[in-house]
Amino acid sequence: MTEKTDELKALLARAEAGNSDAQFALGLAYDNAEGTPRDPVAAANWYRFAAEQNHPQAQFHLGLMLDEGDVGFQQDIEEGARWIRKAAEQGLMDAQFNLGLMHYNGDGVQQDDGEAFFWFSKAVEQNHAKAQFNLGVLYANGHGVEKNLPAAYKLWLMAVIQGDANAHANLGMLREKLSDAEANEAQSAAVEWANRSTD
């Protein structure tokens, strides 16, 4: 018997005993074919057991599987959004970003730029690079918030510092619309943010 099989059996025992962390880990194992063949239905079932115990990562992963309609079960974007919202409300950064995207695109929820702004802002508070870019898009276009190009530029600079390719590709276009003073102030704010986040 391999070490992986022993680990999986121990994990299964803890999951069956109701441990939500073990249930989530078992869901991941089935989802990512770690020590066992990939089984999306088993993954979703274990995610659901943990999600019903308010495990935010399990809620998020279950929500994504439902939203995408993974192999083996019916796509249900509304149910997916419901689980992603639960994870977002518990402060899970990736869930907050995804819920912002869902509201921006009207995917499984009502299209609402104000809600997109709210959830992107929550993820930005946790330094999520893609949320920084997307919140910048809202500021640049005046969607869900008053148009503010310097704020958009600062957010895109923050995202660039974290390696976001979309922000990098669009930064020059936005820079042309700003005065030197606006750009310099935004750059100073982004550098100050970067220094704080590495302290």
**3 pLDDT higher than 50:** yes
**Selection from 116, 162, 112, 156 nearest residue 136 by Cα:** 156
The one-letter amino acid code at 172 reads G
Over residues 128-132, mean pLDDT? 97
Q: What is the pLDDT of residues 69-106, one digit of tens each?
A: 876 778 899 999 999 999 999 999 999 999 999 999 99
Provide the pLDDT for residue 1.
42
Percent of the chain topping pLDDT 90: 88
pLDDT of res. 124: 97
- Sequence ranges of the domains in the chain: 1-90, 94-199
Q: Please tell me the CATH superfamily of domain 1-90, with its number.
A: Tetratricopeptide repeat domain (1.25.40.10)
Query: Residue written as tokens 């599987």?
Result: 65
- Residue 4: is its pLDDT beyond 50? yes
Q: What is residue 35's predicted lDDT score, i.e. its pLDDT?
A: 86
Find out whether 155 and 144 touch, Cβ atoms under 8 Å: no
Q: Which of 129, 148, 145 is nearest to 194 (CA)?
A: 129
Fold: same for 1-90 and 94-199: yes
For the chain, give the percent of residues with pLDDT over 70.
97
Residue 139's Cβ-count burial label (10 Å; 0-12, 13-18, 19+) is buried
Across the range 164-189, mean pLDDT stands at 95
The residue-averaged pLDDT of 41-51 equals 96
Residue 58 has what pLDDT?
Answer: 98
Average pLDDT, the chain: 94
pLDDT of residue 199: 65
The answer, as to whether pTM is greater than 0.85, is yes
In angstroms, rounded to a whole number, what is the distance separating the alpha carbons of residues 5 and 1?
7
Separation of alpha carbons 34 and 26, rounded Å: 9
* pLDDT above 90: residue 154: yes
pLDDT value of position 17: 96
Confidence tier at 39 by pLDDT (50, 70, 90): very high
Contact 103, 112 (CB under 8 A): yes
CATH 1.10.1370.30 fits 94-199, yes or no: no
124, 101 contact by CB (below 8 A): no
Position 2 confidence tier, pLDDT thresholds 50, 70, 90: low
